[in-house]
Amino acid sequence: MITDLRPILSEHPFFKDLKQEYLDFIVGCASNVRFKPDEVIFEEGGEANKFYLIRDGKVAIEILAGQHRPIIIQTIHEGDILGWSWLVPPHLSRFHCRAAAETRAIALDGKCLREKCEKDHAMGYELLMRLTKILTQRLESTRMQLLDIYDVNVKE
């Protein structure tokens, strides 16, 4: 059983090359978790006080469409992160997320991280910049998916 998550955190792409002092702060907010296939991780509109570093497995990020089946907008895998709503008030999940396969992850407590970011603004800025990069990638992925769905020819 792993008791010190520092090596796992430092090797994950999201925290790669993060200052050791920041990792030392963050590790106190981290824990190992597992999700079974089809287990709901976030409910759209539900409280969002965690985010996850995906270690292995698959997670479907979905939007709920009334009485229709949920629409998968992205599937994430090992090396990805899940969740950013922990950082943005009112801390409610913007998406419905479920494990698409057996998934192992590191859970990071958003409340704990917000408190640490308030105490160390430089660390908070570093985390915000890393999350912004992920958000930009996800928005671009969604944009491309919408172009594909609506069969829009994009001029290069």
Using one digit for the tens of pLDDT, what is the confidence trace for 64-94? 888 888 888 889 999 999 998 998 899 999 8
Domain positions in the chain are 6-149
Instruction: Using pLDDT thresholds of 50, 70 and 90, give the confidence band for residue 13.
Output: very high
Instruction: Using pLDDT thresholds of 50, 70 and 90, give the confidence band for residue 154.
Output: low
Residue in 136, 132, 139, 134 with CA at minimum distance from that of residue 12: 134
Phi, psi of 134 (to 5 degrees): -65, -45
Q: Is the pTM of this model over 0.75?
A: yes
Mean pLDDT, residues 48-60: 96
CA distances from 77 to 5, 31, 37, 72, 138 (A): 19, 18, 14, 14, 13
Given the candidates 2.60.120.10, 2.40.10.330, 1.10.10.10, 3.30.930.10, the CATH classification of the domain at 6-149 is 2.60.120.10
